[in-house]
Amino acid sequence: MEFNKCERCGCFFVSDTNTCGNCSSKDAMDMAKLKLYFEESSDYSSIHSISLDTGITVKNLNRFLKEKEFKSYLQDLDDGTNNGNISISL
């Protein structure tokens, strides 16, 4: 096990995962919500529109879209000018 910093809340914890125990369940709920959103909607053109529609932060969307199960949706968001990076500068 390693000493890690939670990618969601920033607290330190000991585990082999990227999120702490408190945030793992939140991530699971948000990922399920995102998966359902992609299944039900075909009109998603930007990460901001997805964030507004789902209530999931842009920061967390960027993390989730790096996951294997969401890779196919990146093609619809990537217009070819950002080399696959969908991070938004605020």
- pLDDT tens sequence across 6-29: 999 999 999 988 999 999 999 999
Q: Which ranges constitute the DSSP H helices of the chain?
A: 21-40, 47-54, 58-64, 71-77
Structure tokens at 66: 């790096």
How many Å is the Cα radius of gyration of the chain? 14
What local confidence, expressed as pLDDT, does residue 46 receive? 86
CA–CA separation, 90 and 86 (whole Å): 13
- Orientation angle between helical segments 21-40 and 47-54, nearest 10 degrees: 110
pTM, rounded to two decimals: 0.76
Q: What's the average model confidence in pLDDT over 56-65? A: 94
CA–CA separation, 74 and 85 (whole Å): 9
